Structure 1
Amino acid sequence: MSSRATPVPLGSFGVWAGTWGLTPERATEIERLGYGAIWVGGSPPADLAIVETLLGATSTISVGTGIVNIWNSDAGTVADSYHRLEAAHPGRFLLGIGAGHREATEEYATPYQALGNYLDVLDERGVPSNRRVLAALGPRVLRLAADRAAGAHPYLVTPEYTKSARQILGAEPLMATEHKVALGTDRERTRAVARGAVKLYLGLSNYLANLRRIGYSDADLSGNGSDTLLDALVAQGDPESVAARLAEHLHAGADHVMVHVSPDADDPVPALAQLAPALGLKPRG
């Protein structure tokens, strides 16, 4: 599906990491391990300098943004950055954009319209629709992602969500889902890691609304989250068990799964190296 939705090669598995967790050296190693894409989180600035650095440090791996925040990054500047990156590294960059969180943005009252206006500017400035994806959770933005972008980048979701979202998107658009992982066979320890990884999002209304749509109760969402919720949102266990959980997204209709190593403060490369063989990845070089 993804090869029809966008010409940017992604492979089945990529890596999501915040700007703080990505260095040229780590990007080079992620590429060597066989992952298909690196997704830069943490609302990278409109100049996309970090994307340029990562593309320059690597040779074949694709790089996406997960996501550029439309409230913080001028659309014209982002379009100029896209064209600069495309000229230097053709076919390797996928622009992910989104409206962020109501709690962080005073202007958030009309996010859907603002997202549409942002896409209008990208259209006017020549950013192809098949070279961008939208952060999408609810049905309305999923449909917008299908109509005006290559597809959707859902975050903090389960394979059950992926199945229902695929029905809304249709067969052709790209679905690139993020899923957190905590390697280890001590479930008490991995659940503690999972709790730390999820607790921020349990205070953000867009994620709470989506988790309720999936079927989680107020009891699951209260405090730092129920064990059932944590186990659903953060894949835990040995590499084979974690890989099997990530693959459930592919079976549910995702084209590409972003592996998000928790905790964010750690260097993700050791965990990614353990996971790569279980995911069926072949080292490059």
Structure 2
Amino acid sequence: MDRWGMTIPLSGQTPLESKQVISELAELGYTDAWSAEVNGTDGLIPLALAADWAPTLRLGSAIVPVYTRGPALLAMSAATLADLAPGRFVLGIGTSSKVIVERWNGGEFAKPYARVRDTLRFLRDALTGKKITQRYETFEVDGFRLERPPAVPPKIALAALRPGMLRLAAREADAAITNMLSPQDVRKVRAEVGADTELIARIFVVVTEDRERARAIGRRLLAGYLTVPVYAAFHEWLGRGEALRRMQELWAAGDRRGAVEAIPDEVVDDLIVHGDPATCRARIREYVASGLDTPVLAPLLGADVPVAQAVRDLAPER
């Protein structure tokens, strides 16, 4: 079955404000609902609510950071969601970013590859109910055992942007989650994970036929992402280093407005889906044709229609 996901809660809404649309998703043809966690809603509570509101959807976190919850707490949270949505929950974990981990949460963004690998290996064992006493490279666990291991342990997906993490996802996780890429980029990412690993990506969408308006919305979003070191390195690997050089220089110099304006039109058009609903759906199908298994749509505020209507307009054709 083709998968077609939606980001919850909807942009600009609380989980409760999104309840009606979330409850409609399956009837509209969506198969998945995926949360996010940056500086708004946390990545797990919306899924707990959606487990009741949308009892047939697959639910996933994309992602919860491995630094901002201890390993045991992460295992408990995953077990709780797995109990609420047996066989329907995918725990998506990743590094997040230095800003989120250190400046916002007081942690230390050290050895990200090893921290993700160690957390994945710990979770694999802990979610079966095994008692864990082990020294990993990046942390140590002494005597932890879940009081209530889930009857169906959740699948685990890794956020991955470059070859090392993509290959780790292919070897040891159930899926890879990526973000902020074009249909053509999917082919390069797919080559790293192979044919057998599920590939998931969030796709940002602006439903409007006003191209310049869509680009303005897209530029503001892209500036916030593509200046983060992990995303800058990702797009260097994808071949956009030179196209984004001026933006990076202006951002580093403190010229935020200039940096936003310096993002080329072709980069915005590559990374942000925009147009009328039919055009947007066709573009999303290009991602699937390029090797993406699960597109997770994220309609952005500021388009021609309210986000709730955009969700309905972007539903897959049946």
Partner of 2:268: 230
Per-residue CA deviations over 1:33-90 (Å, capped at 9, x if unaligned) read 11111110125658x3331111111121111001011111222222222222222321
Question: Do the aligned partners of 1:99 and 1:111 also contact (CA within 8 Å) in 2?
Answer: yes
Aligned partner of 1:271: which letter?
A
Structure 2 CA distance for aligned equivalents of residues 262 and 49 of structure 1: 21
> Shift of the alpha carbon at 1:129?
8.4
> Shift of the alpha carbon at 1:25?
2.3
Q: Tell me how large the CA RMSD over aligned residues is.
A: 2.3
Match of 1:100, SS state, is: coil
Aligned partner of 1:234: which letter?
I
Question: Do the aligned partners of 1:220 and 1:228 also contact (CA within 8 Å) in 2?
Answer: no
Greater Rg over alpha carbons, structure: 2
Question: Do the aligned partners of 1:129 and 1:149 also contact (CA within 8 Å) in 2?
Answer: no
Question: Do the aligned partners of 1:63 and 1:93 also contact (CA within 8 Å) in 2?
Answer: yes
Mean Cα deviation higher: 127-136 or 220-229: 127-136
Partner of 1:174: 198
Aligned partner of 1:272: which letter?
V
Mean Cα deviation higher: 12-21 or 28-37: 12-21
Question: Alignment identity in percent?
Answer: 28
Number of residue-to-residue matches in the alignment: 269
Structure 2 CA distance for aligned equivalents of residues 27 and 124 of structure 1: 32
Question: Do the aligned partners of 1:181 and 1:259 also contact (CA within 8 Å) in 2?
Answer: yes
Aligned partner of 1:269: which letter?
A
> Shift of the alpha carbon at 1:98?
0.5
Aligned partner of 1:209: which letter?
A
Highest relative contact order (Cα 8 Å, sep 6+), 1 or 2?
A: 1
Question: Do the aligned partners of 2:87 and 2:154 also contact (CA within 8 Å) in 1?
Answer: no
TM-score (norm 2): 0.78
> Shift of the alpha carbon at 1:27?
1.1
Structure 1 CA distance for aligned equivalents of residues 288 and 153 of structure 2: 23
User: Residue 25 of structure 1: which of 20, 25, 29 is its match?
Assistant: 20
Question: Do the aligned partners of 2:26 and 2:57 also contact (CA within 8 Å) in 1?
Answer: yes
Structure 2 CA distance for aligned equivalents of residues 213 and 134 of structure 1: 19
1:14 aligns with 2:5: yes
Partner of 1:270: 309
> Which of the pair is proportionally richer in helix?
1
Runs (5+) with no aligned partner, structure 1: 1-9
Structure 2 CA distance for aligned equivalents of residues 144 and 256 of structure 1: 19
Structure 1 CA distance for aligned equivalents of residues 197 and 154 of structure 2: 9
User: Residue 60 of structure 2: which of 61, 64, 69 is its match?
Assistant: 64
Structure 2 CA distance for aligned equivalents of residues 53 and 129 of structure 1: 19
* Mapping of residues 8-157 of structure 1, within 5 Å: 11-17=2-8, 21=13, 22=15, 23-43=18-38, 45=42, 48-106=44-102, 107-126=108-127, 131-157=155-181
Match of 1:201, SS state, is: helix
1:209 aligns with 2:200: no
Question: Do the aligned partners of 2:25 and 2:54 also contact (CA within 8 Å) in 1?
Answer: no
Aligned partner of 1:12: which letter?
R
Structure 1 CA distance for aligned equivalents of residues 202 and 80 of structure 2: 27
Match of 1:105, SS state, is: helix
Structure 1 CA distance for aligned equivalents of residues 211 and 42 of structure 2: 37
Shift of the 220–100 alpha-carbon distance from structure 1 to 2, 3 Å rule, reads: same
Shift of the 130–264 alpha-carbon distance from structure 1 to 2, 3 Å rule, reads: farther
Q: After TM superposition, which residue ranges in structure 1, 4 or more long, deviate above 6 angstroms? A: none
Partner of 2:215: 191
Question: Do the aligned partners of 1:143 and 1:168 also contact (CA within 8 Å) in 2?
Answer: yes
Aligned partner of 1:167: which letter?
A
Partner of 2:254: none
> Shift of the alpha carbon at 1:122?
0.3
Structure 2 CA distance for aligned equivalents of residues 188 and 264 of structure 1: 12
Mean Cα deviation higher: 166-175 or 129-138: 129-138
Runs (5+) with no aligned partner, structure 2: 103-107, 129-151, 248-258
Partner of 2:187: 163
Mean Cα deviation higher: 86-95 or 63-72: 86-95
TM-score (norm 1): 0.86
Question: Do the aligned partners of 2:217 and 2:302 also contact (CA within 8 Å) in 1?
Answer: no
